[in-house]
Chains A and B, each alone.
Chain A
């Protein structure tokens, strides 16, 4: 077990510092490829793009830490954007009330996904796959497939506005979410329980932890963070778009796994997901600025995701030998 080959050393080195290198590499490549990339203006735009992945990534981190997965976040993103927009424009609710009602419904989605996983023991990949389709159905039922318009400027400001004229508001929300995520996971007993359940569910149960409640809880957090991202996304687009979020789950997962959170559970540090989100956001922005066609972007993103998963799996495989 102590004698790792060169390959093993490389992989564990990657898993410690790799994402920083990837981030720097990305910045260099795109700066060289397009002179408009490394400008303050563009970087703040990137920051806004990144924040949606990052906000949902905090919740996804928790789900992955207990050894599960949530692929319904894309549908939740679209649903919450449309719902909050509908509540405000058609029912005349104020921004905070619409926001809260939307997030309350996210809690219900999370409770359902979590219960499917923890109580009915349906693999979360399957359970949230079904939820993804169901929530998409609700979105189209609610909107009839067309975008929800007529949002107030005050609401749009949440997605489009800047603090001090430079810092995008979603970016600030993301920083706050990561701070909360860090405190919850690394400074509270609730976080310890999440790690414990992911580390060994049976040992956690025999240590007096109500493992099912913990698993359900992580799905609720994931749905709520995806919901926050969704409402901000509607504000940023200026409309509730039922068709957003088709690649969102994939991008959030990539950001999380790049950040070193393993799919096996129990391992990962939420602040590294912050960096992971930037890698994936910069990739999107950079490829677009370099005029890479969207179809090629899909292929590249899929490969990046596989690369991230492979690297995290390889370390686990190596240490088993």
Chain B
């Protein structure tokens, strides 16, 4: 028999500009259940949860809870309706004690004074309910990440939440800490608290959850009982999409055995990376797949000298090279088109021209002085190459669309004549048309003999562009697939650490 519905999302829709991130999604969440929400990056899980917790307002649809129908919620209304959100990022004050953090902004008062004793007592009671033994007077900065998470959960419980939303709660935890968290969640469930559980880790979903809802590209796909499904089915439902001619045809078969090694990295190790070693062949497109936080960006940043390495060596065409900063990487013919173009790729307030020529500006000089003729030649040739329509090169880059901004970043790196180009999420946040242009462009570079590393969270991009695919999970390489053998299922099971 089905349990009572505690919260119901009905036809929720949200879009940012032309992109619909949540498309008429309806899900029922039932009392006393742990309900998993799964899907690829960008499937709409976080957006849905943000609507349910009142952080953002949907364009249409409604939320039904406690016999009331709301067109939208605010954080205050959501709390009043018993919905508590535990975000990935903690909102705790490190210098304050646990109990002080629980009562920040809602101190128990006696007259004008705060009643520390009452708050401490109340804090102890909440943790006792959770079955957690903890010293409530300890400072946040002295407790582990797992306990910080428990404090966040306690905060939500203190507000009489009936439904907790947990956004990837295990992402920062070790295995032992996950066990602690799961014991608490099981206790809460036994006490009748309902939970929405977002996770990338399917094994956890099977271990903890009762129901699973799959989202894909902002659409509701299916809700199932955990007992009635399998990992394979879930992976299939999460990806689902047929690949179309979003992508240009591959430029011929890549002769892996015959190609020489251009870049070789061995035992790259730092805070985020565990002994990463691989080779990049001349004229190859090497894809790196993995979930958010798997260490893909960290790998390429380390190669580019943007992050420090504790251990590891890099050689280019058989010659060991020392790369301690981006400047040395550039001298060795490496270019990095970074993940976040606004923060890392462009100087938004500066003119297009300065952004395009900054890496090579010294080469355009006679002595100290910039040759404006040489600079103009360079700019014009790159503008032509990228077939980008620009108002004027003197306008700030911020005046361009996302796609054109990305082309400026490309132009900047093409100017350097780097023969190893690293693309970190090259099509993030740009529209379909511009995406196709960038794919065409990558293949064009390939035919000119450039070697490339492409990181992407879009499975279809990885599968359609790469000659070879590396899959990362938690800072380590989990597998290598040639494109002929690669399937979405294989990549996703490697990326979730299942295989």
Contacts and interface: CB of A to CB of B under 8 A. Distances in A.
B30 to A, nearest CB: 43
Contacts of A267: 349
A210 B324 CA distance: 12
Contacts of A266: 347, 349-350
B308 to A, nearest CB: 13
A187 B368 CA distance: 8
Contacts of B349: 199, 266-267
B376 to A, nearest CB: 14
Interface stretch (A100-108, A137-145, A157-165, A190-198): A190-198
A184 B365 CA distance: 13
A199 B348 contact: yes
Nearest to A197: B347
B354 A196 contact: yes
A303 B496 CA distance: 60
Interface in A173-187: 183-184, 187
Interface string B112-144: 000000000000000000000000000000000
B345 interface: yes
Interface stretch (B43-51, B336-344, B478-486): B336-344
Given A207-B326, A207-B359, A208-B327, A202 B370 contact: no
Given A187-B369, A189-B362, A204 B354 contact: no
A205 B346 contact: no
B326 A189 contact: no
Contacts of A196: 347, 350, 354, 358
A149 B201 CA distance: 79
B365 A189 contact: yes
B358 A207 contact: yes
A314 B277 CA distance: 51
Contacts of B346: 200, 203
A119 to B, nearest CB: 14
Contact of A208 (B326, B348, B365): B326
A27 B354 CA distance: 37
Interface centre among A188, A190, A199, A209 (most CB of B within 10 A): A199
B450 interface: no
Interface string A3-36: 0000000000000000000000000000000000
A203 B361 CA distance: 15
A200 B327 CA distance: 16
Contacts of A203: 343-347
Nearest to A188: B368
A192 B358 contact: yes
B25 to A, nearest CB: 30
B306 A206 contact: yes
Contacts of B364: 189
A267 B349 CA distance: 8
B325 interface: yes
A204 B362 CA distance: 14
Contact of B412 (A189, A202, A207, A210): A207
Given A196-B354, A203-B347, A210 B325 contact: yes
A206 B345 contact: yes
Contact of B361 (A183, A192, A199, A206): A192
Contacts of B326: 205-208
Given A187-B370, A203-B346, A206-B338, A195 B365 contact: no
A208 B330 contact: yes
Contacts of B359: 207-208
B439 interface: no
Nearest to B340: A202
B333 to A, nearest CB: 12
Contact of A204 (B304, B331, B347, B368): B347
A114 to B, nearest CB: 18
Contacts of A195: 347, 350, 354
Nearest to B327: A208
Contacts of A188: 365, 368-370
B358 A200 contact: no
Interface of A: 183-184, 187-190, 192-193, 195-196, 199-200, 202-210, 266-267
Interface of B: 304, 306, 325-327, 329-331, 336, 338, 343-350, 354, 357-359, 361-362, 364-365, 368-370, 412
Q: Which 4 A-B pairs have the closest CB atoms?
A: A199-B347, A208-B330, A208-B327, A188-B368
